[in-house]
Amino acid sequence: MKTNWDLSLLYSSLDDPRIERDQKQADRVITAFAKKYGKDKQHLKDPAALAKALLEYEKLIELPASRAGYYAWYRKELDVEDKAAEALAAKLDDRGTKRGNKILFFALELGKLSRATQKKFLAAPALKPYQYWLKQLFENAKYDLSEPEEKILSLMGSVAYDRWLQSTENILNKKTVSFEKKILPLPEAEALVQTLSTPKRRALYGTIRDIYASVGDVAESELNAVYTNKKIQDELRGFKTPFEATILGYQNDPKSILALVDAVTKQAPIAHRFYDVKRKLLREKRLTYADRAAHIGEIKTKVPFEKAVRIVRETFGDLDPKYADIFDRLLAGGQVDVYPRKGKSGGAFCSSGVVVPTFVLLNHIDNFESLKTLAHEMGHAIHAERAKTQRPLYQGHPISTAETASTFFETAALNRVIEMLPAEERLIALHDMLQDNVATVFRQIACFRFEQALHGEIRRDGYVPKERIADLMNTHMGAYLGPAVELVREDGYFFVHWSHIRRFFYVYSYAYGQLISRALHHKLEKDSGFIDNVDGFLSAGESASPYDIFKSCGLDTKKPDIFLEGLAGLEKDVAELERLAK
């Protein structure tokens, strides 16, 4: 088992000659494709000709050139000071964007086909393998701009968005925290907060909060810039609301997602009850923001990475042996980077691509939370690997199904580990699991509403200062936390660190995934053979809409019942915690 990424799976160094070789191959092949279909328009008339063209188009996805961009990005994630990797990433991004611009016309022209031709193509047997891809393309074509406009926006993407985000992340990733005669990387200190006793927890959180506030001016400019950039693009494309592009991009129905947001918001008293019982368990008159994710007691059972690996592997294997095989293969192959260190990006993520191995980044610190993160991110990895059974066009997955997959595997691991804990620690673990579930549903929807408010104010006023951004953050966090938690203005500077608010409304997918995952587990509890249905969802990739994927599992995500059922389950869990706390 390896605990560091083996990036030689991609390239040996930033100077590896294969990087330029792969770029030149992509330049040549994409130029040839653009030249061919820039002249030959038979594919816009004949289904057989389009099927042939799409096969060639799909092969462009399998060109290895994209590996170099991932390689440079991964190096930067491991070391914020790797300026050579950052420079290479910028050059590769520019080069890749220019290549993509050469073939923009292909999809744009398909989107402009008459309704009659579109209908003919969707019904053509020769195009059946591409039917869902074409359906999505036709439906979203109304938001397309002209080819010159699309090229300009793609060229501006890095400087108008990516580099703004990178500036804030670079600053935060360089920060360290002095705590108990130790110098900790900021991500490690952030993860440590919830494990400490109340005085130490609040003191460390205060230091971290001061760091966030010190970066407030940069984050203020960054957020105003990227939110305004999004406003411009939304107006150009004809999106009427700030969240519409994200929801459609995740292949969800806006009406059903707004129903989810509304249902969760109305049920905020469930979260209020949880934090009130948490206050009693911590023996505090009022909780502070530092206490939001605090443990109610110490789980003395340490979870070194080797132990976490054993638990998660057994959990995955019990669901289906092939999941354990995938888990083992990634660990043995140097595709999981485990421990925090100075300069390494904080948090955790899973990354994959058609021609890129699946890589997982962790910041494991031998505790219960780190085990949950391992299960969550490896759940993403299982999803990515199973989706690789699809053809290249369908090997991805929308965020809405991705978060369902990761939550499904995380829940399975948590249920297993709680059973293994001593009786005196089981209540603590049950509390922690419920705390995560409440945050995943209510906190993320509160964040969605914060984003709605901030986008609205920037669009109305032109610019919003950091103090107002912090106040908005507190307003919406306070709405879900309830009267048991006292906030001060400085708490609102959490916006500096929260990367999700830069990914525009991404957060709803957590609540969506949590509530659907609960429904999947409910069915699996009744019938162990239901795992075949789950595997069908994991293997579907982007070959169908999330609605149709979950419909095949017997879940209708367009009806609010599935979300209301999940919220009712959370309310029962809170009631049980209240009973046990007496």
Rounded Cα gap, residues 538 and 552, in angstroms = 12
For 100, the 3-state DSSP assignment is helix
Report domain extents, the chain. 7-161, 302-391
Rounded Cα gap, residues 232 and 224, in angstroms = 12
pLDDT at 141: 96
For helices 83-102 and 66-78, the axis angle rounded to 10 degrees is 150
Half-sphere exposure of 388 toward its Cβ, with a 13 Å CA cutoff? Answer: 14
pLDDT at 346: 84
Rounded Cα gap, residues 559 and 555, in angstroms = 9
Residues 556-577: pLDDT tens digits?
998 888 899 999 999 999 999 9
Could you give the residue ranges of the DSSP H alpha helices within 282-398? 305-319, 321-332, 368-387
Which pairing describes strands 485-486 and 349-353: parallel, antiparallel, or unpaired?
unpaired
Residue pair 278/580 in contact by the 8 Å Cβ criterion: no
334 Cβ contact list (under 8 Å, min separation 6):
2, 4, 5, 6, 9
Could you give the residue ranges of the DSSP H alpha helices within 126-162? 131-140, 147-157
Residue pair 259/560 in contact by the 8 Å Cβ criterion: yes
The dihedral over CA atoms of 218, 489, 437, 247, expressed in degrees to the nearest 10, equals: -50
Candidates 553, 556, 515; CA nearest to 534 is: 553
CA dihedral over 437, 438, 439, 443, signed as positive or negative: positive
Candidates 216, 199, 205, 369; CA nearest to 292 is: 205
List of the chain residues with pLDDT < 50: none
| pTM for the predicted model, two decimal places | 0.86
Burial class (CB in 10 A: 0-12, 13-18, 19+), 64: middle
Rounded Cα gap, residues 529 and 145, in angstroms = 47
Q: Which amino acid is at 252?
A: N
Q: How many CB atoms lie within 10 A of CB 62?
A: 11
pLDDT at 319: 97
Q: What is the DSSP letter of 143?
A: G
Q: What is the DSSP letter of 286?
A: S
Give me the numbers of helices (H) and strands (E) for the chain, helices first please: 26, 7
Residue pair 292/485 in contact by the 8 Å Cβ criterion: yes
Which pairing describes strands 485-486 and 287-288: parallel, antiparallel, or unpaired?
parallel
Q: What is the DSSP letter of 158?
A: I
Q: How many CB atoms lie within 10 A of CB 553?
A: 17
pLDDT at 342: 85
Q: How far is CA 493 from CA 215, 487, 500, in A?
A: 9, 11, 14
Residue pair 417/429 in contact by the 8 Å Cβ criterion: yes
Residue pair 350/452 in contact by the 8 Å Cβ criterion: no
pLDDT at 124: 98
Residue pair 325/169 in contact by the 8 Å Cβ criterion: no
Mean pLDDT of the chain: 94
Candidates 276, 264, 267; CA nearest to 483 is: 276
DSSP states of 395-445 as a string? S---HHHHHHHHHHHHHHHHHHHHHHS-HHHHHHHHHHHHHHHHIIIIIHH
- Write out the two tokens for 152: 């300009």
Q: What value does the CA radius of gyration of the chain take, rounded to a whole number of Å?
A: 24
Rounded Cα gap, residues 557 and 291, in angstroms = 34
pLDDT at 194: 86
Q: Which amino acid is at 452?
A: Q
- Write out the two tokens for 209: 């909060």
Terminal Cα distance for the chain, rounded = 45
Buried b vs exposed e over 180-189: b needs ≥16 C-beta within 10 Å? Answer: eeeebbbbbb
Q: Which amino acid is at 42?
A: Q
CATH class of the domain at 7-161: mainly alpha
Q: How far is CA 528 from CA 125, 320, 380, 548, in A?
A: 36, 10, 21, 22
